[in-house]
Amino acid sequence: MIFKQVRILFSGSFQCRLATDPDPSNATRSDPENPLRSPGWTYDYLEAPFDRLIRLQSPVELRSALIDTFIPVTVIGIEVQPQSLGPIELPFQALPSDPLLGVPVSLGAGAFFDSAAGGGASREAIVNCTLSFGSQLTATPTSKPVLAGIVRDASTTADYFLRKPVAIAAALATGGIVPPRAAVLAKPGLTPLSPPRNIETYANFYGVTESIIPVAATIDFVPAGATGILASLLLGWSFSINLKFSRFDGDTLTGRIAGSLEGVHSDL
């Protein structure tokens, strides 16, 4: 079968241990008890220094009280559009099996968000990004992927307010939160009846979704050993990368990511 378009879909969790505005994004340490030195709203709690790396596998010092279980990113689907023999476009269809399904996905060992390389806050670039699918396939952006701005979802923010205090209470009850972090999470906001400090900020950003502006990419794999969908991508294809980040929890420094590598056959 000849394909006109293909989509390789992936999703899961990401970790990004980074300082937040008004701290500089390249700050490696933060101190919740010294707002003059650390005016941002993410803290390292004496853990390994912040490094801004976007990890889709093997998170570093993963914290308790996660709202969303950390799920390493894998290929979850492959959709193809067969070439039509007539004027009517054929619909996309999912491949029921393929060697790429389930393989781990990474943005590269050194990928990180950088405001200076993009357009500032909420329009950061992803530096050192190379999308890899296990050892079978890599896709390298032809330019730095850049976030396109914030989209807010009030229902997701409300979900954080509902579920996060329960997760915190459970972790505190089992001793799963280190004292410096416990002090921050237990400290009220502006009034004694306010939610814990920064919870409003965490909830607000948990309800944010940010996607990159789709970016062209070049792909690399071993044609001689290509099987499954890769065997159909040998000649005449152009590719683009799409990424969407959401549900980032400023307490646990984790969120959700979904994306796709999309190909269009230029000769069809």
> Domain locations in the chain?
3-149+205-265
More confident site: 101 or 169: 101
Note the pLDDT tens digit of each residue in 26-66. 888 887 777 667 778 899 898 999 999 999 999 999 999 99
Mean pLDDT of all residues in the chain? 90
The whole-angstrom separation of Cα 102 and Cα 134 is 9
Q: Is the pLDDT score of 173 beyond 50?
A: yes
The whole-angstrom separation of Cα 263 and Cα 240 is 7
25 — phi, psi (to 5°)? -65, -20
Note the pLDDT tens digit of each residue in 128-141. 999 999 999 999 99
CB 23 within 8 A of CB 38: yes
Q: Is the pLDDT score of 259 beyond 70?
A: yes
Tell me, what's the pLDDT at 244?
A: 98
CB 77 within 8 A of CB 101: yes
Q: What percent of the chain has pLDDT over 90?
A: 68
The whole-angstrom separation of Cα 34 and Cα 74 is 39
Confidence (pTM): 0.92
The whole-angstrom separation of Cα 155 and Cα 187 is 25
Tell me, what's the pLDDT at 145?
A: 97
Note the pLDDT tens digit of each residue in 94-124. 999 999 999 999 999 999 999 888 887 788 9
CA distances from 49 to 30, 94, 184, 206 (A): 9, 42, 18, 23
